A and B are shown apart, each in its own frame.
Chain A
Amino acid sequence: GAVVSQHPSWVICKSGTSVKIECRSLDFQATTMFWYRQFPKQSLMLMATSNEGSKATYEQGVEKDKFLINHASLTLSTLTVTSAHPEDSSFYICSAREVAGMNTGELFFGEGSRLTVL
């Protein structure tokens, strides 16, 4: 099946610094990727839809200047948490929609990135 790689798996940073998380589709092309945030024992909160070659579409309440998304190629999307603060600590997950499968909506997920801001 299609594989999505997310890196890093764990990251600890100081308050005020920026952190970049990468999401790569390894064996398929993904014109669309999605970024989620997940709090402990809670569901996925969709943050934004990342479209290759265009600006990301952010969900209501998500600060686009805080969570910068870049989708420069058909296999890579990045999420940068800028000027991170402890309240940004969370589990961030990406998913990708295979171009060939865009009519069925099946998603392939990365392994997630645990961000801890001290």
Chain B
Amino acid sequence: AQSVAQPEDQVNVAEGNPLTVKCTYSVSGNPYLFWYVQYPNRGLQFLLKYITGDNLVKGSYGFEAEFNKSQTSFHLKKPSALVSDSALYFCAVSPRNTNAGKSTFGDGTTLTVKP
């Protein structure tokens, strides 16, 4: 069974400061890893994914994530936060087989960026 942990329910940062939203996973084999963002009363939007290759993945809106196999982590980062980045962020893991897409999601982390 696969699982995803987002240890922080809430992350608060000041605008212009770097941000990190943490994610660790547990899965057999090498999964696909994703970050999604959700704004209030909206569906999820894809931010970025790790499939293979370079451990640092760049995605939408200036976000990036670093895959660390030894620590089974996939933390989301951004060098300079914007107020508009305030939202709910989900980390997800998906198996590399015909069940790809049946992702397991973390519980979400609410990011608040204050001006």
Cα distance, A41 to B41, chains bound together (Å): 11
Whether A1 touches B46, Cβ cut-off 8 Å, given contacts A44-B105, A102-B100, A105-B32, is: yes
Question: Is the Cβ of A95 less than 8 Å from the Cβ of B44?
Answer: yes
Whether A109 touches B44, Cβ cut-off 8 Å, given contacts A43-B90, A104-B51, is: yes
User: Quick check: which of A11-19, A62-70, A79-87, A110-118 contacts chain B, the rest being far away?
Assistant: A110-118
Report how many residues on chain A are interfacial, defined by Cβ distance under 8 Å.
27
Q: How large is the interface on B (under 10, 10 to 19, 20 to 34, 35 or more residues)?
A: 20 to 34
Question: Is the Cβ of A105 less than 8 Å from the Cβ of B95?
Answer: yes
A42 at the interface (CB under 8 A from B): yes
Question: Is the Cβ of B107 less than 8 Å from the Cβ of A111?
Answer: no
Give the Cβ gap from A109 to chain B, nearest Cβ, in Å: 4
Whether A105 touches B105, Cβ cut-off 8 Å, given contacts A91-B41, A95-B44, is: no
Cα distance, A103 to B101, chains bound together (Å): 9
- A18-55 to B contact mask, C-beta < 8 Å, 1/0: 00000000000000101000000111101001000000
Residues of chain A with a CB closer than 8 A to B94's CB: 104-105
A97 at the interface (CB under 8 A from B): yes
- B89-115 to A contact mask, C-beta < 8 Å, 1/0: 010101110101111011110100000
Question: Is the Cβ of B42 less than 8 Å from the Cβ of A111?
Answer: yes
Residues of chain B with a CB closer than 8 A to A44's CB: 44, 90, 105
Cα distance, A107 to B92, chains bound together (Å): 10
Question: Is the Cβ of B32 less than 8 Å from the Cβ of A6?
Answer: no
Whether A102 touches B101, Cβ cut-off 8 Å, given contacts A42-B108, A43-B108, A44-B90, is: yes
A93 at the interface (CB under 8 A from B): yes
Whether A109 touches B95, Cβ cut-off 8 Å, given contacts A32-B101, A97-B100, is: no
Question: Is the Cβ of A43 less than 8 Å from the Cβ of B95?
Answer: no
Question: Is the Cβ of A42 less than 8 Å from the Cβ of B107?
Answer: yes
The 8 A-B pairs with the shortest beta carbon distances in the complex, nearest first, are A105-B94, A105-B100, A97-B101, A109-B43, A109-B44, A43-B107, A105-B32, A111-B43
Interface set of B (CB-CB < 8 Å, partner A): 32, 34, 36, 41-46, 49, 51, 90, 92, 94-96, 98, 100-103, 105-108, 110
